Structure 1
Amino acid sequence: MTDDKTLYTARTLPFSPEEIYSAFASSDLLAEWWGPEGFTNTFDLFEFWPGGRWVFVMHAPDGTDYANTSTFENLEPNANIVIHHDCPPQFRLTIGLKAQGRGTHVTWTQVFENTQTARAVRERAGPANEQNLDRLTRVLEQARYPR
């Protein structure tokens, strides 16, 4: 945590900003990698434009379903994605994409509505954010080098 309400993850991935942004913009690709290891997704609504809604269910490996509703607040192609998670726990996720050498430096900043919520989910959300980036990397590698 960088402050009482913010979780921050950053990593340089060996893909262009365009490739990474496309993995968010494509509902098929996003459904493959979104969430922690072992989770799958069912998207009910995916409106990838500023103000668009994203309604989906994350299916945990233990069979638990987690309903999610979010809004795409800001989309700057190949540079920035801002998502507001509209259901508990409420947070704003900002994904920054900056070309760096032959890859992209990805920043993943999750700001919760209050300190209590951030502390309550920190143990789970911190590793989950890293797992999201691991899964994104695998999906983009498979897209680049299909078997």
Structure 2
Amino acid sequence: MAGAGQETRAEPTTADREIVISRVIDAPRELVFDAFTEVRHLSRWWGPEGFTTTTRSFEFCEGGEWDFVLHGPDGTDYSEWIRWVRIARPERIALLHGEFRDDPNAFESVIAFAPDGTATRIEMRTVFPTKELRDEAIEKCHAIEGGRQTLGNLAAYVTETLRKGAEG
């Protein structure tokens, strides 16, 4: 009977509050990780297609923050804020992402960098505070397509800019 009681205490699933996006990038894990964690790189690829990024402040360390503005192709500016929660170089980054510090609607993301032969599989697993916030991000902000485009921008940046620079 004790076993059955333990099963009822399992943690609730986050599937209805979660978005998972992954991509294989044709570059070594360390190079992909650096492109994701150094502001001189991040500002050149972050965001969906047509967006640009202006960094206000950046400190990549556990507890550090990235305060930035995403500029949409239609001229709309979006204030953004990230706190780096946990960093395990070059395997994983956990972060909290909102519109501003202490945003009650901020979501948590874990980005995993796994070797895939000579390439890297990157997976972004994002959990929103509620199912409604997740659904709103998908419907109004096109979060899934935007996430895919962002990882596409990262892949292009790493393979076309960083990797060629490392080889040349």
Q: Which of 145, 161, 168 is the aligned partner of 1:127?
A: 145
Counterparts of residues 128-147 of structure 1 (less than 5 Å):
128-141=146-159, 142-145=161-164
Deviation larger for 43-52 or 19-28: 19-28
Counterparts of residues 62-101 of structure 1 (less than 5 Å):
62-87=74-99, 89-101=105-117
Alignment partner of 1:24 is 2:36: yes
Partner of 1:108: 124
Q: Deviations over 1:61-89 (max 9, x none)?
A: 10000001110001111100111014354
Q: Deviations over 1:108-141 (max 9, x none)?
A: 1111110100001113100011001110011112
Scaled by the length of structure 1, the TM-score of the pair is 0.93
**Ranges in structure 1 where 5+ consecutive residues have no aligned partner:** none
Q: Does the aligned pair in 1 maintain the 2:27–2:163 contact within 8 Å?
A: no
Moved over 4 A (4+): none
Distance 2:75 2:43 in 1: 17
Distance 1:24 1:101 in 2: 20
Larger Rg, first or second structure (1 or 2): 2
Shift of 1:55: 0.3
Which structure has more strand as a fraction of its residues? 1
Distance 1:39 1:55 in 2: 16
Q: Percent identity?
A: 31
Scaled by the length of structure 2, the TM-score of the pair is 0.82
Distance 1:143 1:97 in 2: 17
